[in-house]
Each structure stands twice: as C-alpha cells, then as structure tokens.
C-alpha cells in the first residue's frame, strides 16, 4: 500500500471529490492542525451550473473549470491525488483507489457527486447523453453542431427534418436552460449562416413528466418560464413521459419523434462508491446521514452534496451547489471542533434561493417567498454565477463573453473538433 506522508502525528482528513462540497471543505480546513488529502478522478474543479453553456457553444471548457492543484497552490496542508476512489473500508478507516492502493484516514468527507439516471434504462445513455462532466458537454456540443451540418448537406426532406429536431428530456433547470439555448442557437445565433436549410424549421421539444416545468419553483415562476420558452419557439410537452429511445428517435407519449438529437436531463443517481459503505441509502442512492452529516455509527465519516440524503423542516435538501457549499464548510468546521474537543452541532441550511435562465435576458429567480422573472432575474443570475466562478480570469472572460453574446447574439465556441465523429457520420 502506498503511503501518503503527512506531518508526523497530525490527523488526516481525506476528501473524495473536488466539486463544490469537497473544495469548500478543504478550504475551510486551511488553518486546521490536520493534513488534507483531496482525491478526484479529474484534475479540475468544474463549475457545473454553467456546463450547459459549454454544450451550447456559449463558453469554452477552460472558462468554467480550474485545475485543482492551482486552487490549492498556496494551501500547504493539502495534497491532491488524481485517482478514482472505488471503495471505502469503514472499519479499517481507509479508501481504496482504482490502482488498488489505499489511503488511510482519521476523517473522511465523501463528496463524489452524482450521475444522470435513466431509471433502469441504461441502454438509452448511448443515444441520449446527460450533462455532468466536460466530456458530456463536449459530446452534446458536437452532436448539436454536427446535426446542423448534416441538415445543410442532405437532399432528403425527411432526414433534414430529423436533423433539425432536438428533444430535451427533463424540465428542471438543466433541461430548461438547454432547450432555451438550443432554440437561440437556431433562431438567432446561426441565422444566415446556412444556404440550403431554413433554420425557422428547427424544432426544440422539451419533455417533462410533471404538470409544469421547474417543479421546485413556485407555480407562477414555472408559468413565467413556460411562457419564455414558448416565445423562443420551444414546444413544451408537460405530463408526458419518454418510453423508448433508439438511434433513430424517441417515443414521447403517443408520438414517435425521429431525431438523432436527444439530450437527457431527467434525473440523477448518486455515485456507486456509496454502496461500499453498506449503510442506508434512498432510492437515488444517497446516504441517509445524521443531522451533523456523518454516517450513522461512524462519526468520523461524512457524506455531503449530491451524495447525501439530508432533511430539514421543508424536506430533503435538493442537489444544488449552495447546499454542497454549505455542507462542505459545515463538516470542515465539525472536524475543527472535534480537534478542539468541542461538541458537534447539526447542519442548518440557509436557503438563499434558486435561479434558472431560459435565454437572453430571460430568467426566473426565487429568493425565499419573493419571486421575480425577466431581465432583472437574468441580471441577478449573471451576477451570482460570476461571483461563484473560481479564478479571476474566468470571472472576467465569462463576463466579457456574456456581454458580447448579449450585443451580437453570437456564441464564441461553435467549433467541431471531433474529426472521428465527423468521419463516422460521413461514412
């Protein structure tokens, strides 16, 4: 077993996952008398709320991601390991890596995130990619841009119609943002770029199983979002389920829609790593945690973010960045309290609201009992996301790109780079 050396007798806190929760936990432990080992299977922290803008060619990958090592360059008690954790041994207090090595811990913070769930139909993922990683976003971007190219080339009206049809499954924030962005690409950004196709024929269809989009928001804000989507030309199918997906299309309710462009935004499932804890999990695979976010019976193991089933007075906390951030800070503080011999306190989530953008100057914002939509909500959405981005350069570049896009309707990252996919479609 490889040994990761610390500072003699100091306790070791191992953090699994460099997302919002893991990152803030590590930062909060900066001045603590503890060695921190942060393990992630990628080398970067990803700002997931803006991932859909990579998928829709508004931003480039480097503008929403920052190398983890660069983030902790000046925090000397942090060691970063780029590996995947595949198992947790609660009794021996160690995590097992995908190279079969192990890392011992005194404290463990599990923040491995989640993956999109296909509700038992995992074979659909091949045809309907979800949006959780940079790889996912670039895959979707290639599909979207290539479809317009194929529509321009074909002389078959039926094929052209299929290429110009886009189906987004799931009416939560990700689905709403994706559908609105694709509609803007077709009806604004690329208007005039093609010679053989009429982009007014582009269909963007959003499918949602509930009776309204953005179910966590108030009914009024859901209605405002629906109207904004419809003004962009998005066809919204409510109270409708997808029953089959193939390479040729998707079954939406009673209608078969021919298209190679299906994007999945309908659900999440927690990391399979959590199963190795062998503790209670909910239907989404999240660990049912104690009030202080620890694992029942193992007070030195914490689970946070998308991996935690945590309740407050209003119910189970949603899988959102603000929840993960506050939980990461909380568990780090509980470790610091433990080092000082102080008692722990329960986690209390401070709800600062929810936001979702639908398109240019269109968004909805719910701040407690106050809700608003339109340009003001969009400006608030922009400000909040700029504030939470990691890195000064990213903040500046993203702000400038948004200003440019607002004025010109253009998207800076409309590049097709996967030649293997182009060649495969041409063969």
Task: Tell me the catalytic residues.
Answer: 177
| CA angle (305 as vertex; 393, 47 as ends), nearest 5 | 20
The structure tokens 């290639």 sit at 142
What is the Cβ-side half-sphere exposure of residue 401, based on CA atoms within 13 angstroms?
Answer: 20
On whether the CB atoms of residues 310 and 88 are closer than 8 A, the answer is: no
DSSP of 64-120 = SEEEHHHHTTT-TTEEEEE--EEEEETTTTEEEETTS-EEE-SEEEE---EEE--TT
269: left (phi over 0), alpha (psi -120 to 50) or beta: beta
Per DSSP, what are the bridge partners of residue 309?
288
Radius of gyration of the chain (CA): 22
Burial 314-337 (b: 16+ CB within 10 A, else e): eeebebbbbbbbbbbbbbbbbbbe
The structure tokens 């030195």 sit at 300
Query: How far apart (Å, rounded) are the C-alpha atoms in residues 311 and 309?
Result: 7
In angstroms, what CA-CA distances link 187 with 143, 183, 196, 203?
Answer: 18, 6, 15, 10
On whether the CB atoms of residues 56 and 148 are closer than 8 A, the answer is: no
Identify the three-state secondary structure at position 237: strand
Question: Would the CA dihedral through 226, 227, 232, 237 be positive or negative?
Answer: positive
CB-based contacts of 369, cutoff 8 Å, min separation 6: none
């Amino acid at each position: 077993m490889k040994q990761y050396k610390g500072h003699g007798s100091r306790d070791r806190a191992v953090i699994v996952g460099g997302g919002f929760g893991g990152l803030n936990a590590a930062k909060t432990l900066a001045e603590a008398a503890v060695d921190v080992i942060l393990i992630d299977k990628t080398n970067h922290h990803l700002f997931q709320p803006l991932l859909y803008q990579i998928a829709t060619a508004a931003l480039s990958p480097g503008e929403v991601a920052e190398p983890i090592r660069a983030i902790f360059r000046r925090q000397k008690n942090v060691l970063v390991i780029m590996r995947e954790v595949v198992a947790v041994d609660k009794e021996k207090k160690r995590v097992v890596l995908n190279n079969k090595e192990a890392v011992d811990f005194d404290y463990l913070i599990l923040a491995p995130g989640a993956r999109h769930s296909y509700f038992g139909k995992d074979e659909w993922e091949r045809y309907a990619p979800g949006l959780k990683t940079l790889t996912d976003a670039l895959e979707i971007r290639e599909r979207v841009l290539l479809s317009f190219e194929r529509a321009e080339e074909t002389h078959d009206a039926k094929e052209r119609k299929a290429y110009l049809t886009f189906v987004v499954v799931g009416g939560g924030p990700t689905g709403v943002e994706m559908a609105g962005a694709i509609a803007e690409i077709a009806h604004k950004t690329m208007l005039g770029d093609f010679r053989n196709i009429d982009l007014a024929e582009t269909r963007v269809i959003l499918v949602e199983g509930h009776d309204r989009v953005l179910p966590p928001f108030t009914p009024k804000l859901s209605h405002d979002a629906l109207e904004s989507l419809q003004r962009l030309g998005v066809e919204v199918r409510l109270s409708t389920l997808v029953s089959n997906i193939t390479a040729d299309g998707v079954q939406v309710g009673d209608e078969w829609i021919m298209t190679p462009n299906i994007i999945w935004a309908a659900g999440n499932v927690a990391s399979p790593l959590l199963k190795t804890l062998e503790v209670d999990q909910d239907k989404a695979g999240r660990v049912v945690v104690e009030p202080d976010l620890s694992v029942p019976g193992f007070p030195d193991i914490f689970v946070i973010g998308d991996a935690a089933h945590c309740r407050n007075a209003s119910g189970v906390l949603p899988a959102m960045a603000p929840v993960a951030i506050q939980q990461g800070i909380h568990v780090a503080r509980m470790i610091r309290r433990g080092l000082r011999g102080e008692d722990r306190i329960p986690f209390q989530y401070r709800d600062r609201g929810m936001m979702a953008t639908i398109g240019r100057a269109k968004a909805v914002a719910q701040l407690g009992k106050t809700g608003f939509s339109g340009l003001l909500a969009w400006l608030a959405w922009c400000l909040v996301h700029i504030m939470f981005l990691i890195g000064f350069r990213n903040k500046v570049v993203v702000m400038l790109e948004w200003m440019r896009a607002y004025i010109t309707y253009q998207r800076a990252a409309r590049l097709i780079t996967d030649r293997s996919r182009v060649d495969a479609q041409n063969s």
